[in-house]
Amino acid sequence: MSDFKNEKPKQVCYIYKNGFKQKDTHPDFKSVIKITPDFLQQMVNFIKSDTRVEKGVDVSVAMWNRISNNEKKTEYYYTVLEIDDYQLKKELASQQAVDSVNAESSVKFEDDEEIPF
Question: Average of pLDDT values for 34-43?
Answer: 89
| Selection from 92, 88, 109, 108 nearest residue 100 by Cα | 92
Cα–Cα distances in angstroms (integers) from residue 13 to residues 5, 52, 71, in the given order = 22, 30, 21
User: What pLDDT, on the 0 to 100 scale, is given for residue 1?
Assistant: 40
Tell me the pTM. Answer: 0.59
pLDDT of residue 64: 92
Percent of the chain past pLDDT 70, that is, above it, reads 77
Q: What is the mean pLDDT of residues 13-25?
A: 91
